Amino acid sequence: MNVKKFTAATSREALRKVREALGPDAVILSNRPVDGVVEILALDNDDVASLASPAPESEMAAPRPNLHVQEPSFDDLEPAPAPRPAARPARAFQEAPAARQPLNSLYDLDEPAAPAAAPTYANRRAPQPEAPAFDMAAMTAMMSAAIAQAKESATAEMHGMMNEIRAMRGMMETQLAELSWGSTQQREPQKATVLREMLAAGFSASLSRYLVDKLPAGKDAAESMRWIKTVLSRNITTMADEDAILDRGGVFALVGPTGVGKTTTTAKLAARCVMRHGPEKLALITTDAYRIGGHEQLRIYGKILGVMVHSVKDEADLRIALKELRNKHTVLIDTIGMSQRDQMVTEQVAMLTESGADVKRLLCLNATSTNETLNEVVRAYQGTGLAGCIMTKMDEAASIGNVLDVLVRQKLNLHYISNGQRVPEDLHLADRAMLVDRAFRNRRDAAAQLLDADLPLMMSGLGNLNNDRSLREVYVG
């Protein structure tokens, strides 16, 4: 086994030496830092193959000698010559005839031989010590462990190299995007104006860059802004009239984070249903048993409207309540508010989905939340799908482009907008053209604060917009 040692200042340089000396199929046995350098022990792939499958001509494959000593057979026994007896008088020999024994009695194997008369074997070979056997299994296990360690070390090294390559790729994409946007800004200044307007209105940088790149050529800043507003209006879905909720009826559950205005919005929808169909056609259900005074607030609204409010605690209670209220035209469920990062959100969605009734979930979106927060809320509460959404606290928001951005990218159906606490006056049908115009009208001063020198840096961190799935369905035709 020809193990070679390679040393270099870095692992990459040491691996290069191994590849040059032993080829790309070399097996790395160890990789460790020694005295400020990297030491690699490597083995040629042919040596590993010879150890794993030895040839029949090798010494290891030669047959082991048979060291078993076979006991001699009866025919191999040759007694040693007996000592010649001393000369005795004939008289003595005749007086003791009983002392004579036949020669065959020495070879009588049926009777135990006397210890003093034990025979010796002239042709018996001396026992030889057994040679130590070569432990092929231990050698194979050692080589397997070495190969596994080498693969693990190579995998870790490859993982580090891939991370470095990704970091270099990201840095190059950032620099190229910055240079590209800088040249675009000089050649087409109207794109910079449109980009500042969209960022100031609250739209995300990715959607703004995507639409700016799709701008038709030959348009000035005013025409470009009209084109942007038209595209945004086409990609916002709204409810045309209230017949889908008030006339058709059904079971609706208002969901969303804490403090988004679900209870107030539920009261506003309840008032609209009572004004159209009467209080006997409506039922209210609350699952908010944790917040102090939460269900009491809805009970006060129900008392004013003349509608009974039912309180449930879990899925079993909800099933019973919905079964008892199946003759009602409309049932509104006010759910408990919780953070979009709470694991109970999934349980709440499952409770509504498996309640035994066709519960349509309406997500309340807070207009004062940031774009990232709204996207988290939609992903958490979406579950198997949302029937629509309601924009709340519009009167408190400095900009509403963040909500419109989520509507465009998540393909949500906007039912109502809420702009106050009055019941039921501050609840309106959504008008997409009005919403887009208002998003840009209130942020003109903020757009002037964005400098042209800051735009290339903001656009450089977006990367490849073609990988963003939420932008693929944006219609710009």
User: Rounded CA gap, 250 and 209, in Å?
Assistant: 41
Superfamily of domain 240-429: P-loop containing nucleotide triphosphate hydrolases (3.40.50.300)
Which residues share a beta bridge with 310?
285
Reading the chain (477 residues) residue by residue, the pLDDT tens digits are 678 888 998 888 888 898 888 888 888 888 888 888 888 888 787 776 666 554 444 444 444 444 444 444 444 444 445 445 444 444 433 444 444 444 343 334 444 444 444 444 444 555 555 555 556 788 888 888 888 888 888 888 888 888 888 877 766 766 666 566 556 656 677 888 888 888 888 888 888 888 888 888 878 888 888 999 999 999 999 987 887 788 888 899 999 998 888 888 999 999 999 998 898 999 999 887 665 556 678 888 888 888 888 888 888 888 999 999 989 999 999 988 888 888 888 888 888 888 888 889 999 999 999 888 999 999 888 877 788 999 999 988 888 889 999 999 888 999 999 988 888 888 999 888 999 988 888 665 555 555 565 566 566 555 555 556 677 778 776
User: Rounded CA gap, 434 and 427, in Å?
Assistant: 15
Is the pTM higher than 0.85? The answer reads no
Output the CA–CA distances (angstroms, integers) from residue 36 to 6, 9, 17, 39, 291, in the order listed.
14, 7, 17, 10, 63
- Positive or negative, the Cα torsion across 393, 399, 402, 408? positive
Cβ atoms of 268 and 314 closer than 8 Å: no
Helices 344-353 and 371-382: angle between axes, nearest 10 degrees: 50
CA-wise closest residue to 199 among 405, 338, 417: 405
Domain residue extents for the chain: 1-54+139-187, 189-227+442-477, 240-429
User: Rounded CA gap, 380 and 260, in Å?
Assistant: 15
User: Rounded CA gap, 296 and 169, in Å?
Assistant: 57
Strand, coil or helix: 364: strand
Output the CA–CA distances (angstroms, integers) from residue 330 to 158, 280, 314, 361, in the order listed.
61, 10, 21, 14
